[in-house]
Each structure stands twice: as C-alpha cells, then as structure tokens.
Amino acid sequence: MVGGGRGAFIGQVHRMAANLDGKIELVAGAFSSCPEKSKLSGEDFFIDSERAYPSYEEMAKAEAAREDGIDFVSIVVQNHLHFRVAKCFLEAGIHVICDKPLALDMNEAKELQKLVHESGLVFALTHNYTGYPMVKEAKRMVAEGELGRLLKVVAEYPQGYAIGDVEGNGDGAISNWRADPKIAGMSNCIGDIGTHAHHLAHYITGLEVEELAAELTAFIPGRELDDDGNCLIRFENGVKGIIYASQISNGDENNLNIRIYGTKASIEWHQEDPNELLVKFPSAPRQIYRRGNDYLGKLAQANTRTPFAHPEGFIEAFANVYLAAAAAISDKIDGKPAPEEAYDYPTVDDGVKGMAFIKACVESSKNNAAWTQLDL
Amino acid sequence: MVGGGRGAFIGQVHRMAANLDGKIELVAGAFSSCPEKSKLSGEDFFIDSERAYPSYEEMAKAEAAREDGIDFVSIVVQNHLHFRVAKCFLEAGIHVICDKPLALDMNEAKELQKLVHESGLVFALTHNYTGYPMVKEAKRMVAEGELGRLLKVVAEYPQGYAIGDVEGNGDGAISNWRADPKIAGMSNCIGDIGTHAHHLAHYITGLEVEELAAELTAFIPGRELDDDGNCLIRFENGVKGIIYASQISNGDENNLNIRIYGTKASIEWHQEDPNELLVKFPSAPRQIYRRGNDYLGKLAQANTRTPFAHPEGFIEAFANVYLAAAAAISDKIDGKPAPEEAYDYPTVDDGVKGMAFIKACVESSKNNAAWTQLDL
Amino acid sequence: MVGGGRGAFIGQVHRMAANLDGKIELVAGAFSSCPEKSKLSGEDFFIDSERAYPSYEEMAKAEAAREDGIDFVSIVVQNHLHFRVAKCFLEAGIHVICDKPLALDMNEAKELQKLVHESGLVFALTHNYTGYPMVKEAKRMVAEGELGRLLKVVAEYPQGYAIGDVEGNGDGAISNWRADPKIAGMSNCIGDIGTHAHHLAHYITGLEVEELAAELTAFIPGRELDDDGNCLIRFENGVKGIIYASQISNGDENNLNIRIYGTKASIEWHQEDPNELLVKFPSAPRQIYRRGNDYLGKLAQANTRTPFAHPEGFIEAFANVYLAAAAAISDKIDGKPAPEEAYDYPTVDDGVKGMAFIKACVESSKNNAAWTQLDL
Amino acid sequence: MVGGGRGAFIGQVHRMAANLDGKIELVAGAFSSCPEKSKLSGEDFFIDSERAYPSYEEMAKAEAAREDGIDFVSIVVQNHLHFRVAKCFLEAGIHVICDKPLALDMNEAKELQKLVHESGLVFALTHNYTGYPMVKEAKRMVAEGELGRLLKVVAEYPQGYAIGDVEGNGDGAISNWRADPKIAGMSNCIGDIGTHAHHLAHYITGLEVEELAAELTAFIPGRELDDDGNCLIRFENGVKGIIYASQISNGDENNLNIRIYGTKASIEWHQEDPNELLVKFPSAPRQIYRRGNDYLGKLAQANTRTPFAHPEGFIEAFANVYLAAAAAISDKIDGKPAPEEAYDYPTVDDGVKGMAFIKACVESSKNNAAWTQLDL
C-alpha cells in the first residue's frame, strides 16, 4: 500500500475491504511521505519493519526484487500523485489497485492507459459504488433487455459535507487538498463524486456520454474549484440524461441515486439503501428486488456475502472491487487465461473515460454550458 | 362551471374540491360544447335545467343578469379555450377559477392579466400542488429564514403515463389533445406538468427564474410536442437549479418532488407522500415535519382538515385552492377589505410567469439549449 | 345528522365524507343537546331553520312525517347515546349511518341488531379504515387465494395522543368523555381503536376471533379505563394472531398497520401510507400494489376517485363507507333488489362482533389474561 | 475456531467479522468433526497444517500447551455442542467467543456461568444485533433519560425462510438440525431468533422480563419444535411488552424491529435499515438519528467504521462484538485492569438470561399461555 498511514480515511477503507475475505494480506507499504510516519504506520498494521518503506520508489524497487514480493500495490495517495506512483509500480511490473480519479489530466490518464495495455498488468480503479450487488443486478437487467430500449438516465449525487464557510468570513470545512487545483486537479466536486455518478450510469447502461452541457459553481467564497455541478447529458443512441453532483447540499450525506428509464420498465437504486433495487412498470405492480435472494442474477449473487436482509454495505461493495481485481491478478500470476466473461472491476479505460467526463464538464462550464463532446 | 361534463376527469376533481367543505354549491354550467351533453351533465349534477346552458357565452350573459347568478365560474375546458372563456366571464363581471395553464401564449396571458387587474375581479389558477399543507410549511420555513440563504433548488416531475407507442408503429397512449399544438399550445410535457414544478419552486422560495437552458425531447415517434424536458436554471440571487419533467418515465406515476438547499438547512418534499416534510441539517438529526401537528405554522394548520396521520391527499389540496379563492371572492362580494396577508391562491400573475417559463423552455430548446431569459 | 355541532371533530368528518361526491345533501339535524347550539350549527351548515331540531326525538318524528323527509340519519353523538338515538330513528323507519362503537354493551348491541334485521332498514357503522381502496384489494387477494391458506395475522394500532399526565400530578390529555365509563363504555383504548384493528383483520380475512388472551393497562394514574391493550388471538381455522392498540405510545400518531401471512404470500398495509399495499413472496421480488392502477381488482377501482399517485386519504375512505351505504339506501328507497354481491359497508352485525371483541378483552384482562371466548 | 468448516454459514460470518479490522488472525481450528474435512478447511483458511486439528479436545490441549497458542477460541458448532466445547476450552484456560444460544438447557447454562465467573476468563456470546451502532445509541438515549420513564416495549422478529412444506406432504425447508430437539434444544423459533429479540430489548432498556405468557406454534405438519411464537411480557417496573418471533412469516426476511415507548419520547429501530434510529415525540417533529454523525453518543461513534451514509451492515455489527470481546481478552492477557465502563459485549450472564427466556416461553405455552416467571 502506498499512502493510507495513521488517520487516513480511505486507506483504512481499502485495508478493511482487502481484509474482509481473508484472502489478501497487507505485507508492505510506503504509508506516508514522511519516513518516520510510514514506519509507525507499518507497526500499526503488523508489517515487518523492513517492508515499511520510506518512499514509494524504494518500495517498488525492493518489492519487485524480492522473491516473496507483493502481488499488487494499493495506491491511496492524493489525486496529484496517482499518476507517478502508478507509473512507478507498473514499470516495476507490479499490478495496481488505485483510488480514483485516475490522474490529474487527460495526458497523464492516457499515458497510464498506454502503460497498462502494453504491460498486460492488471490495473483496477476503485469506483466502489459499482461493487454493490444490486448495481450488478441493474446491469444485468439492462443487458438482458428487461428495460427495453433505454430512453433516459438521471444520476444524482448530492452531499452537504463541504458547505463550510458559506458567508466567506474565513475558510470552509473543505479547507483541505480537495479544494486545491494543484492536488485535486481541474475539478473538486465533479472530479471527486460526479465521476462516481458518471461511472455508475456507464457501468449499468453500457452507454457512452457523447456530449454534455455543464454548469459548475463554487458557492463558497474563495474556492477555486467547483463545489456543485449540474449537467445535461446526451448519451449515445439518443438517450438523454441529467447528472448532477454537489457538496453544498446541506444535510445530504452520501445521496448517490440513479434512475434508468426504458421502453418496457425503469429501475431506481439508492446508495444509502443499497440492498434494494426498485423496478417499475407501466401497468403492473412495482417490484422490489432484494439482495441475497436466489431469484437474482449470477453476478449479484456472486458478489454477496450474507443471506437476505442481513444488510451489506459500503465496505462489502468496496471489497467486491478488490475480489474481482484479485481474481484477475491471481489468474495472471498463475498463468491462467482470463475467463470468457470479463473480470468485473473498473479498469484504466474507465479511468480515462472519467477524466474525459471531468474535462468536458470543466470546459463546458467555462463556455457558459455550451455543449461539449467527450475526448474519448 | 364551463367544461367538465360526463366523463371528464379534471372537471370531476374541481367539483369534489368545491363540494368538500359544504360551502360552495354548483348551480349552473355549460358542461360541454355539445348542448345536449351539457344538459344531461346538468342532470347528473342536480342543476336546474334552465341553468345547464348550451354555450359558455349564454351562460355568462344569463348568469350575469340573474339576481341569484353565480358568484364565480370554474373553467375546466381544454387549454386553447382558457383565454376566450375566461375573457368572456371577466367581461361579464364574474370572478374566475381557471385550470392551468393560463393560456396558449404570452399575448393571451398578458391580455387576461390586464383584464383581471383592471376589473379588480378575482382570478385563481388551480396550481393545486401548492395547496398541500406541507408545501405551505416549506414556504414558511424559507420565508422565516430557517434554511438560511438559498443556494440550490431541484424540482423534478417524472411521469410515465404517456410512454405510448414507443416504437412508432402507431399512435401512443397520449393520442389526445395534449399532443396537439393547436389545443395544448407550444409544449406538452413542460406546459402540462413542468409548469407545476416551476410554480412549486417559485411558491416556496419566492424566487424568479432569470434564465434557463432547456432540452425538450419528443421520444415517441410522430409527436409534435415534447414528452420530456430537462432544464438548467439560474434563479435570481445566484441560486442555481434543475427543473425537469417527463411523461415517458416508465412506471413513475405522479412523482413531483422538490429539494431546496440553503446555507443552514435543506428541505425535501414528495407529492406522492404529501403529509411529510423532511428537514435536513449539516450536523443535527434530520427532522420529519408531519401534517396536522400543532408545531406547524399558521398557514399549514389553516389548510388542514383532519388530525395528524389521518392522511390528506390530492383533493384536499385542490380544495385549499378553492377555499382561498372563495375567501377572496366572498370578501369582494361582501365589500370587505382584503386582509393584510395576501390571499393564498395562485393568481393570474402566476399564470403569466408560467407562460414565460414555457416559452423560454421552448425557445431555448430550439436553440440547442442556449441560455434564454424569461419574458417577465 | 344527530350530534356534530360546531367544533365537533367527527361530525365534520362525516359531513365532508358525505359532501365529497355531490350526491348527499345535509338538510336536517339535531346538532346538539343544547337547542340553541343546534340552531346555530344549522345556520353554519345552511340548513332551513325549521329543520334544525332541538332534540333527536323531535327530529325523528318530524322528518318521518315530512314528505321530503331525510333519507337517512347520520349519528355522531358520544358512545353512550348511540343506542337510544339509533333505536329512535330505526323505530321511525329511517335508515341509519352510525359512528362506532355500536353501543355500550352486548345487550344494547343485540337489541339494535334485532331491530335492524326485523325492520329491513339499512344500518351502516363507520369503520372507516376498511373504506380504503388498498384494504379492499387486500380483501380480494385473500378471497381469491393469492395468499394461500392463512397462518397468522398481526394488527397493531399505536397512538400517543393520550399520553397525558403520566406522572399523576393532575389530569391527562384525555380528560374527556373517552375516559369516563358511563359515556365511553367498558373500555377506552380497545373500544375506541382496538375495534378498528379487529374489524380491519376481520374484513380482510373473513376470519372470526374464537378466543383471546388480553392484557389491558391504564398507564396514566387515575384513569378508570384502559389506555393500552395487548391481545394474543386465536382465529378460526387455527390461524394465530396478535392485536394490540395503545394511546400512550408517545409520538405515534395514527399508526394502524396490518400484516397477514399465508402459505403462498403475505401482505402488509399501513394506514399512514394508505395508497400502497406490500405483497411479499417466499422467493420472488416483493410487489407494491398502488392505488389507481388498472391491474387492481374491481372493488379497489370502484372505490377510487383520482388517478394513481394523486393521493387519496382518510376523508375519501370515509366517503366510501357513505357511498356504499347510500347505494343500499337508495336501492331500498327505489325498491330495487340488492345486487348479488353484498353492499360493501360495515353492518350492525359487524358492530355486534366489535362489542363481543371489546367484552372479551375486558373480561380476559380481569382474569389475568385468561383465554376468553367471544360471545357471538 | 471450532466448527465453521467449508460451506458452513455462520463460521464464515465469524471469520469475516474477525478479519475486518486486521487485528485478529485465524491460526488454528477444529473445523469439523470429520478430521479430513477439518484439515481441508484449514488449507482454505491458510492455517498451518499442524494447527488444523481433528477434534476440539486435541485443539484445546495442544493450543493451551503452545507458547504461541491461540488467545481465544470461536465456537460456531451446533447448539447441542456449545456447552461441552466451551467447557473444554474454559477448563484449558482459554477465552471464548461463542455463538448463541449459550446451551441446551438451564443446567448447562448455569454450569458455564459458574465456570466463567470462577475462572475469570472472557466469555462473549455473539448476539450480534446489539453490535449495531444505532442500537448502542438507543441504549444511550434510554440510559440518559431522553425517553423519560419507560412504559412499553414491542420487539418483533418475523422471518419466512422456514415456511417449508406447509401442507404436510413431505419435509419442509427447515429439514435441518434446527428442527431437531436433540440438537437445537427445547425450542426452534424462540430459541434461534426470539432470543435475539429478547436480548435486544434487554440490552437497550436494561429491563429484566419478570413473567410472560407465550403461545408457541408448530405450523408445519410434522415439526416437533415451534416455528412461531407470540408472547405478552411483563418487564420489571410495570413496563409492558410484546415479543414475537416467526419463521413462517412468508416473504419476511430478517425483519427484527423494536419500538420502545417512554413518557417523554419513543424510539424505533429496524434491523433491515440499521443505519437509522427514529425518535418520536408527543408534540415536536420526529427525528432521524443517522449513523456516522458527530451528534451521536460516544458508544455509537466508537462502533463505526465509515462516514455517514456509507452504509454499514450485518458483518460490521458482528465485528463490533468481536472487537469488544477482543479488547477485554487483550486487557486480560496484558494484565490491564478493566476500564470503568463495562466492556460492551454480550456475556455468559446474558446467555443465562436467554436460556431462562426460552424455558419460560416453552413452559408457558405448554400451560396454555399461563403467566410464567423467569428462572433467574
């Protein structure tokens, strides 16, 4: 693991996700850019002291050289470091699981994409929300035509945690690196959570965004980056949509929702109530699909750990990304061929699509919400 | 009543709303453009046969002349007739309660507005959804600053009833006058239900829409008018928003929802669950305000007929528009001055704003979702 | 109408229910035991002054004698008067719609039952909660075997409004006639609302309660009658159940719920969310049946006034009892035979069953929750 | 670990719960009574082959003797073995985490209780549902008097999974050891899930059940043990209640719910929606407390792993029992004194109370639901 030392939130989530199934062991890390802190964090995680490295470069080098070196690295550093850390491990021949967004801009993103494709290494991006079983069921329903031809997609992701200092008398709650373009990249809200909504819509429907009209806003005085963004979307095949994200939607917590409308039926899923999937028909009772039941598709069942109504949550979904990536990595290591069905984890290509989405949103917004095509 | 003969849906709703409180009596009508049908409908409604008129013109004339003539008329005809029927009764000096939208275009709308203002007559438009008590409580909360400064408004109104013949092999479910520009006007979906979402947002927040970027779509082959519309909104005071409406959102029934975000708190209301109002705070438990409780404001309490958790619904909200308009009419007739607080019903001015909203949506959409100001 | 003068709650509900459909007109009343108040109330309701009677006895006599006398009387007085007022009008040959409970004890109840059966008059009891369309749909599903053989019924009715003076330092919120055995009868909570839960269970399932074990409690110091009651139930055919009711369940408003479990499926309905019916299966997605849809049975559709998701509520359900009773009365007056299907309103026989339920609860509780059979 | 070999459900849950936080390592086990299966399971779990024991007796002996022996054992065998396995490890001086119910009868239960108290060893029982953060918040609210004096408790636990062969033509879905008195003990439904409801009520309120009147039923032909049970409860201090559990409630999945009513407020929690706690007041808006917020009490916050609205579920709650027991075990091993506040895990004393509850239910039911005191 690179990053994720004492007190870091997302590093801890990655560790729990990796621990859960008892199949992945944390054995090495460069947990902090401060060597001392990295070492102490290593102790917290019961790592051999020689494998708590002072820097990611040393870690990549040393682990690549060990016979019992790591099978893959988890990258949980801040956005602006994703590119160089990932590059370093890929060049050392080590598989990667990386936090999103993929990189700071399209150049970095495409260079990583090239590296991954050329190396044949596994690269998984932790768009964790598509790890939920009922999201996988939604994908199956669309794929098998149960919704008919798709017409409209509405994906929304309001949060309120960054409401901060709304009157501009000082700094806001989000006085961290996410508001700093040098670290977070060209967008805060769309980059941080808008991309989750975009990936969710793409994962379930398989549709690419062709062009979009976006209005990004920095509501809190003094912010350089957006804390709110609303987009009209034109997907391929004439499908229309709305994607919006917000971090100033007071009192909303992690309110990622999606509705997908087809000619035969529509579906609705709420991240805050992830064990259910609502299916609506033009003239029949609504149906509630519930996680853990044997009437669900293979993919939803395979990503389930507890029986129905023994609720699963965020960590389990995150762990599903880890399990799928680990399966791919394990097959590579064992020299097994990939199965006929694709491995079910977000790839470097999904990361490139995410970057293209962010870039289009930022450009459109600068042009007064002019329609802007995605650079795919 | 003009319109609303046997079998007409909205006429029956108006009658139930008027009946409910036992204070309004239906005594005359021109229920159909077919004189025979008008007469038979009059019998259904226990009207004296001489007051079941063959035409609205005769009705206006005769009732204006009677000593015991009607106190006001309810106009429940198709959109394209609103203007001429309303004009006729206003010119006869009779107060009007009229179904929305106000008229077919801005010219008609502004002429009615002028007539109403000059005559001093009461003109109420049945934007019934703002008749719900919890909507009135929402308005109070905004007005009293409980949400702080407003930042964002999201109003959505998906329905699926007009999904119709999605593959274009014939005509769709909405093969009625709503799809005909000569009768419905320049828009179907935005005109019919988008205006309800717009009025709801305006009623609660008091904010005017300054400009909007809209994409209207006719998903069903052969339709001249939109059956879906998505709008980015710029309200006054820098408030941003989204308003969308749809009639091809399969399985959605009458899913009008609104979320209003302020610097201190946010609120959320769902028309399909109208007796509750959800209030969310940045760092305190969420609150559910429930109709019928004595902790609610005066306006919500005054528009309530049953104790808490004896649910009220659509007809009661509709009846609240009638009650408020009837109070204004009654005061006019009795020569009483208007109370200090405004009467609480949608006015001809709201109707003009609605027309401006429809017009801007249609124009923006024709210009590839260019920002378009409202003609107010 | 007898009772229901100015300020009375349930009288106003009866009037709104009767008004709603424009088919019933209030033309006479003895609105109060105080003649002056009765007269003033008559003015409120636009009644001819000669038909605002000083007493119910005079009203029954005068109206029976008029050619244009009332078609039926609505009785909305306090419990202890139900018997004598109903008896008076029945003996005058006038049909009756009466508030529940039927009477103060089994003797009164059975005397009324005899009178009704011998006279052939219509007698409807306003167990309004079975007027909801989705309750009627539930009844249909059971009747048509969609649940399979029934196994278990759980009906609960917690309210909190009578929490009152819980520490006994004075009188409680329920310091009214409901706490007075001479007026309310042998039970407060079970009599007032437990009977609604009992009737609801009986209406949907058709099952009789054979015996029950009940524990009634008066939590508030100084109360003579129960404000809470819990019952184990043995229905016929080996069906088991729980019925409980409470008026000291703080914060609950009108939380009447029922779950019915069969061998094939189960259903669940919540009065506070009356437009939906949840259907659960052993190994299939749950289904939500929603009012106003054409996939519902005939009875649910016939008791519906607005399209789907234009919510209906308490008054509409109440009005359905009025409509059904009015249909029966109208047929009697017109000399029409009863239709093959029974009229769908609660009868005097249901009232007798309710009295038997109350009596068994009170007796069982006095005997330390011993099993007690119903006196049917 | 004893039990929990390949394919066993609850063993896998225990392992995930132990894995989650990266602080507990599975190093030894007797995973099956079949030595070969135990060995193979050991390989699945990456255990040294010498520590995959053929029997629990050998495991206890060998691990007690090793310097690096296990710190504690997890017992996940069938009910009838709990006693002897737990006894064996306690006598070997090894701490125990044991699945519920504690034992087969009161004799076994009390012998274990004595052993634990005399040895000073940690003994934790995995009543996992009280591991949920919002249950801990509920406990805090009661303890700090926010509900006032308690009046009533309703705990319900319907499941439908054992509906099985309802018509008696063969065996039911529950054709496993749970239906066999020799393995499951004197009760199936009350023993398996009724005790969870009982423990939940006790954990939150601190109240003991004084006596109860229970009706247990075996709905499915041929079953010796109950598959449904309904109890009237008399808690101490005059608090009244209902506890019921069912495994034939078709379509219900794991529907454990509790409502607790006090003189000032009431609370309501649903296991299937565990991240929220509903708080209701007599005359104020309802409040929704949500997991992960800083307005919650210390205990709820300490048992939380992800931020608000990143849902936690069943495994996390289970892991909280492990964490609390592990803290106690770790303190014992390190010779640290117990903290002032009690460790927050279900103890052997809770297990004894559970056995007393089961025994009273069975006895009462045999006596036609006569009131039966708990043998505490």
CATH of the domain at C264: 3.30.360.10
Q: What pLDDT does D267 receive? A: 98
What pLDDT, on the 0 to 100 scale, is given for residue D342? 87
Q: What is the pLDDT of residue D331?
A: 96
Q: What is the mean pLDDT of each run of 10 residues along chain D (376 residues)?
A: 89 96 95 92 93 96 97 95 97 97 95 97 97 98 97 98 71 61 91 97 98 96 93 98 97 98 97 98 96 97 96 98 97 93 95 98 98 94
Give the residue from A141, A142, A150, A151 with the most B CB atoms within 10 Å of its CB, the best one to mutate.
A151
User: Which residue type is seen at B116?
Assistant: V
User: Which residue in chain C is spatially nearest to B18 when comparing CA positions?
Assistant: C20
Whether D1 is in a domain gets the answer no
Clarify whether residues B218 and B356 are in a common domain: yes
Does residue A179 have a pLDDT over 80? no
CB contact under 8 A, A232 and B230: yes
Q: Are residues B68 and B176 in the same domain?
A: no
> Encoding tokens for residue B249?
């959102």
pLDDT in tens, D193-249: 999 999 999 999 999 999 999 999 999 888 899 999 999 999 999 999 999 999 999
SS3 C246: strand
Q: Is the pLDDT of residue B329 over 90?
A: yes
Residue C303 pLDDT = 97
Instruction: Give D-chain residues touching B295 at CB under 8 angstroms.
Output: 283-285
Chain C residues touching D251 at Cβ < 8 A: 265-266, 279-282, 286
Chain D: which residues have CB within 8 Å of chain B?
279, 283-290, 293-295
Q: Do C159 and C101 belong together in one domain?
A: no
Assess if residue A326 is contained within a domain. no
Q: Please name the chains neighbouring D, where neighbouring means 3+ C-beta pairs under 8 angstroms.
A: A, B, C
pLDDT range class, residue A159, cuts 50, 70, 90: very high
What are A's interface residues with D at a Cβ cutoff of 8 A? Answer: 9, 12-13, 15-16, 19-22, 26, 45-46, 253-255, 271-275, 290, 292, 305-316
CA distances from C299 to A337, C191, D18, D163 (A): 61, 28, 55, 31
State pLDDT tens for residues B175-192.
Answer: 567 778 888 899 999 999
Residue A243 lies in a domain: yes
- Which residues from chain D sit within 8 angstroms of residue C279, using beta carbons? 251
Who wins on pLDDT, B376 or C59? C59
- Cα separation, A49 vs D184, whole angstroms: 49
State which residue of chain C sits closest to A287, comparing Cα positions. C287
| pLDDT, position B80 | 93
pLDDT at residue C78 in the model: 92
Give A302: exposed, middle or buried? Use CB within 10 Å, 0-12, 13-18, 19+.
Answer: middle
Q: Which residue has the tokens 């009462």?
A: D364
Query: What pLDDT sits at residue B342?
Result: 87
- List the chains bordering chain A where 3 or more Cβ pairs fall under 8 Å: B, C, D
Contacts of B366 (CB under 8 A, 6+ apart): none
Residue D172's pLDDT is 45
Instruction: Count the domains in chain C.
Output: 2
Residues C225/D238, Cβ–Cβ less than 8 Å: no
- Give the residue numbers in C contacting D (CB under 8 Å), as ranges: 148-149, 151-152, 154, 156, 158, 160, 163, 166-167, 213, 215, 217, 219, 228, 230, 232, 240-242, 244, 246, 248-252, 259, 261-266, 279-282, 286, 368-369, 371
DSSP H helices, chain D, are 9-19, 35-44, 56-65, 79-91, 106-119, 133-143, 181-184, 189, 195-205, 298-302, 314-334, 348-366
Q: How confident is the model at residue B169 (pLDDT cuts 50, 70, 90)?
A: low
Residue C339 lies in a domain: no
Phi, psi angles (nearest 5°) of residue B217: -135, 140
Say yes or no for a CB contact (<8 Å) between B279 and D285.
yes
Nearest to D265 among C213, C217, C251 (CB): C251
Radius of gyration in angstroms for the set of CA atoms belonging to chain A, rounded to a whole number = 21
Residues in C lying within 8 Å of B, measured between beta carbons: 9, 12-13, 15-16, 19-22, 26, 45-46, 253-255, 271-275, 290, 292, 305-316
Phi and psi (nearest 5°) for D266? Answer: -135, 160
Q: How far is C252 from chain B (nearest CA, A)?
A: 9
Option in B45, B311, B314 nearest C314 (CB): B311
Residue at token pair 């009350």: D190
Length of chain D: 376
Identify whether residues B166 and B191 lie together within a single domain.
yes
Residues of chain D positioned with their CB less than 8 A from the CB of B290: 285-286
Residues A136 and A239 in one domain: yes
Contact A153, A232 (CB under 8 A): no
Looking at the structure, do residues D136 and D57 belong to the same domain, yes or no? no
Q: Where does the pLDDT of residue C162 fall: very low under 50, low under 70, confident under 90, or very high at 90 and above? A: confident
Query: Is pLDDT above 70 for A175?
Result: no
User: How far is D250 from C280, CA to CA, in rounded Å?
Assistant: 7
Smallest CA–CA distance from C293 into chain A, residue: A283
Of residues C283, C290, C294, nearest to A293 (C-beta): C283
Chain A residue closest in CA terms to D292: A253
Evaluate if residue B67 carries a pLDDT over 50: yes
Residue B41: CATH number of its domain = 3.40.50.720
Q: Is the CB of D287 less than 8 angstroms away from the CB of B287?
A: yes
- The reply to whether residue A242 touches residue B250, judged by beta carbons under 8 angstroms, is no
Q: Is residue B311 part of a domain?
A: no
Beta bridge mates, D75: D2, D98
A114 shares a domain with A146? no
Q: Which of B253, B289, B320, B323 to mutate to test binding with chain C, by most C CBs within 10 Å of its CB?
A: B253
The whole-angstrom distance between C289's CA and the closest CA on chain A is 5
Question: Could you read off the pLDDT of C182-241 as tens digits, one per residue?
Answer: 888 999 999 999 999 999 999 999 999 999 999 999 998 888 999 999 999 999 999 999
- Cα separation of C94 and C333, whole Å? 11
Rounded to two decimals, the ipTM of the complex is: 0.95
pLDDT band of B113, cuts 50, 70, 90: very high
Tokens 């060893």 locate to D121
Domain boundary residue among B121, B143, B170?
B121
pLDDT at C176: 65
The amino acid at C56: Y
Q: What is the pLDDT of residue B243?
A: 98
Confidence of residue B249 (pLDDT cuts 50, 70, 90): very high
Per-residue DSSP letter, D192: I
Q: Is B273 contained in some domain?
A: yes
Residues A260 and A278 in one domain: yes
| Chains touching B, CB cut-off 8 Å, 3+ pairs | A, C, D
**Which residues in D lie closer than 8 A to residue B287 (C-beta atoms)?**
285-288
Q: How many residues does chain C have?
A: 376
The domain boundary, picked from D121, D145, D165, lies at D121
Per-residue pLDDT band for A171 (boundaries 50, 70, 90) equals very low
Residue A13 structural domain: 9-121
Give the tens place of pLDDT for each residue, D285-331: 999 999 999 999 999 999 999 999 999 999 999 999 999 999 999 99
Which residues in chain B are closer than 8 Å to A289, comparing Cβ atoms? none
Q: CA C129 from chain center: how many Å? A: 7
Cβ contacts of B371 on chain A, cutoff 8 Å: 368-369
Of D248, D261, D281, the CB nearest to C261: D248
Per CB-CB distance under 8 Å, the chain D contacts of A312 are 313-315
pLDDT tens-digit profile of C19-41? 999 999 999 999 999 999 999 99
Domain-located, residue D343: no
Task: Give chain D positions within 8 Å (CB) of B279.
Answer: 285
- Rounded to 10 degrees, what is the CA torsion of B7, B12, B15, B17? 170
Listed range (A165-169, C56-60, C169-173) with the worst mean pLDDT:
C169-173
- Interval A182-206 mean pLDDT: 95
Does C140 lie in the same domain as C105? no
Instruction: Name the residue among A106, A180, A120 with its Cα closest to residue A363.
Output: A106
Question: Taking CB atoms and an 8 Å limit, are A45 and D26 in contact across chains?
Answer: no
- The residue from B121, B153, B170 where one domain ends is B121
Q: How far apart are CA C4 and CA B261, in angstroms?
A: 44
Candidate from B339-343, C316-320, D127-131, D147-151 with smallest mean pLDDT: B339-343
If one counts every other C-beta atom within 10 angstroms of the C-beta of residue A118, the result is: 9
Band (B81; pLDDT cuts 50, 70, 90):
very high
Q: Which residues of C214-229 are buried (b: 16+ CB within 10 A; e: fewer)?
A: bbbbbbbeebebbbbb
pLDDT at D106: 96
- Whether B187 and B224 share a structural domain: yes
- B143 and B267 co-located in one domain: yes
Amino acid symbol at C121: L
* pLDDT, tens digit, 9 for 90 and up, residues A6-60: 878 899 999 999 999 999 999 999 999 999 999 999 999 999 999 999 999 999 9
- Of B177, B144, B154, B172, the residue nearest B78 (C-alpha): B177
Section B8-29 average pLDDT: 94
For residues A2 and A101, give the distance between their C-alpha atoms in angstroms, rounded to a whole number: 16
Same domain, C23 and C77: yes
Residue C333 lies in a domain: no
Q: Which residues of chain B make contact with C305, given a CB cutoff of 8 A?
A: 12, 16, 315
Banded pLDDT at C166 (limits 50, 70, 90):
low
For the CA atoms of chain C, what is the radius of gyration? 21
Residues C62-71 as b/e (b if ≥16 CB within 10 A, e otherwise) read: bbeeeeebbb
End-to-end CA distance of chain A: 30
Structure-block tokens of residue A71: 């099978």
